[in-house]
Amino acid sequence: MKWDLENPFIDEVRVQPDDIDELGHANNAVYVRWLERCAWQHSRSLGLGLEEYQQLDRAMVVVRHEIDYLAAAYLGEELSMGTWIVSWDSKLRMTRQFQLCRPRDGVTLLRAHTTFACVELSSGRPRRMPREFIELYGQAIVGA
């Protein structure tokens, strides 16, 4: 697999019947769901799942998606979604990069960047990242 960056966190995807739209391929909204799932899986692998978010009264929420749809995915295909944390300010925002590949032929189906902001769960207001976010997400930043 030709990843855009080294050592991605990888979430495996199998295209399901419910993912297919009227045009016979995975719907663009499904790709967004796969991005979200991959980001959550990566966060959990770092020790920051929903339970930790609730205990800390903080969460990283999406403020922007930039997606380039490059090729279609079809029913039953096995895909690999890679993600990297590529930038952050260690205060409020961080950006993930994603790449969706089809291993059988090495084709990249999607490239995306998602910007997240830290919010206080109890109020929904922007708040600085807690120490735990800085430590755990910080270790996963590309080039860290």
Identity of the residue numbered 17: P
Q: Which two tokens stand for residue 108?
A: 């990249």
Looking at residue 116, its pLDDT comes to 98
Using DSSP's 3-state secondary structure scheme, residue 143 falls into: coil
Model confidence pLDDT, tens digit, residues 76-86? 999 999 999 99
Structural domain contains residue 79: yes
DSSP state of 20: B
Model confidence pLDDT, tens digit, residues 28-44? 999 999 999 999 999 99
Query: For the domain that residue 16 is a member of, what is the CATH number?
Result: 3.10.129.10
Structural domain contains residue 4: no
Domain count across the chain: 1
Structural domain contains residue 2: no
Q: Spell out, as residue ranges, where the chain has pLDDT lower than 50.
A: none
Structural domain contains residue 1: no
Structural domain contains residue 134: yes
Q: Which domain holds residue 30?
A: 9-138
Residues 6+ away with beta carbon under 8 Å from 138: 88, 90, 144
